[in-house]
Chain A
């Protein structure tokens, strides 16, 4: 069975500070991993995805994620957050059928 755990329900970060969101997954084979962002009242936008190859993946909006097979993790990072990064972030695993984590809400303080 496939599943995702996002340990942090809510993170508050200062504008300009770095951000790291944690994601641990369970999957029977080589995982397809994703990070999505959802702003209030909006749909989910794909930030980045990992299928194979380089374990450090670059995405949109300055985000990157690192796949660590030994730790079953796919953590999302951004070196310097902007106020517009305040949103809910979802990690997901799967192929045609995605399993999502419960999400991490990011609040950015001035």
Chain B
């Protein structure tokens, strides 16, 4: 157990739907990162939050959004889902916003869009 908790572990939904993925960071970590892992794109950085504020954005689609709440958990919202959104979505956390503080991944949420 890495200490980063992601729920649900698996999600199957239909095209056009909206889903929310949840991440609880490791205790004491203030930064949360979201990554998407797909067969064709590999591991792609989506977005980072630090202590409730967005710090960096990567290859995140406009249909996707995220937030970090006061208790530091984070949610990734995916809307108007397409077949190509099927992927493994990882959350990671670190104590601060740089790599020098370590970076721990959760076990991921596998999203299947049918």
Contacts and interface: CB of A to CB of B under 8 A. Distances in A.
Nearest to B50: A96
Contact of B98 (A90, A95, A103): A95
A96 B42 contact: no
A32 B103 CA distance: 12
Nearest to A93: B99
Measured as residues with beta carbon below 8 angstroms from the partner, the interface class of chain A is 20 to 34
A102 B31 CA distance: 25
A51 B42 contact: no
Given A96-B97, A98-B103, A100-B43, A43 B90 contact: yes
Chain A: interface secondary structure?
Answer: strand
Interface residues of B, number: 25
Contacts of A95: 98-99
B108 interface: yes
Contact of B42 (A34, A94, A100): A100
Given A51-B100, A96-B56, A45 B42 contact: no
Contacts of A11: none
B105 A96 contact: no
Nearest to B104: A46
A96 B98 contact: yes
Interface of A: 32, 34, 36, 42-46, 49, 51, 90, 92, 94-103
Please provide the 6 A-B residue pairs with the shortest distance between their CB atoms, ordered closest to farther. A100-B43, A43-B107, A43-B105, A44-B105, A32-B99, A97-B45
